[in-house]
Chain A
Amino acid sequence: MPVPHHMQFFVDPNRCIGCQACVQACTECDSHRGHSMIQLDYIDRALSPQTVPVVCMHCDTPTCAEVCPADAIKRTADGVVQTARKPRCIACNNCVLACPFGVPKMNTDMSLMMKCDMCYDRTSVGKKPMCASVCPSQALFYGTPEEIEKLRPRSRPVDTFRFGHQTITTKVKMMVPRESVLQDFDVLGALVPARDAAFDPMLAMLDVPDCAPGGTDA
Chain B
Amino acid sequence: MSRNTDEGATHTPDGRPWSEQPQWRRDFPIDLETDEYVSRRDFTSFMVLISSAFACGQLWIVGQNAWRERRGKPPLKEIARLSELPVGASTTFHYPTENETCVLVRLEERKLVAFDQACTHLSCPVIPRVSEKRFECPCHNGSFDLETGHPTAGPPRRPLARIRIDLAGDKVLANGYA
User: Taking beta carbons and an 8 Å cutoff, which residues of A are in contact with B?
Assistant: 60-62, 65-66, 71, 73-79, 82, 169
Q: Which of B24-47 contact A (CB under 8 A)?
A: 28, 30-33, 35
Please name the residue on chain A nearest to B9 by beta carbon.
A77
The A-B contact count (CB < 8 A) is 37
* Bound-complex Cα distance A40 to B43 (A): 46
Of the four ranges (under 10, 10 to 19, 20 to 34, 35 or more), the interface on chain B belongs to 10 to 19
- Please determine whether B13 and A77 come into contact, CB atoms closer than 8 angstroms: no
Q: Determine the main DSSP class of A at the interface with B.
A: loop
* Bound-complex Cα distance A169 to B15 (A): 12
Q: Which residues from B are CB-within-8-Å of A71?
A: 28, 35
CB distance from A104 to the nearest CB of B (A): 14
Q: Which residues from B are CB-within-8-Å of A79?
A: 9
* Bound-complex Cα distance A74 to B33 (A): 9
* Bound-complex Cα distance A105 to B9 (A): 25
Q: Which residues from B are CB-within-8-Å of A75?
A: 9-10, 30-32
* Bound-complex Cα distance A78 to B35 (A): 15
- Please determine whether A77 and B30 come into contact, CB atoms closer than 8 angstroms: no
B157 interface residue, CB < 8 Å from A?
no
- Please determine whether A65 and B30 come into contact, CB atoms closer than 8 angstroms: yes
- Please determine whether B33 and A61 come into contact, CB atoms closer than 8 angstroms: no
- Please determine whether B11 and A61 come into contact, CB atoms closer than 8 angstroms: yes
B12 interface residue, CB < 8 Å from A?
yes
- Please determine whether A60 and B10 come into contact, CB atoms closer than 8 angstroms: yes
CB distance from B105 to the nearest CB of A (A): 52
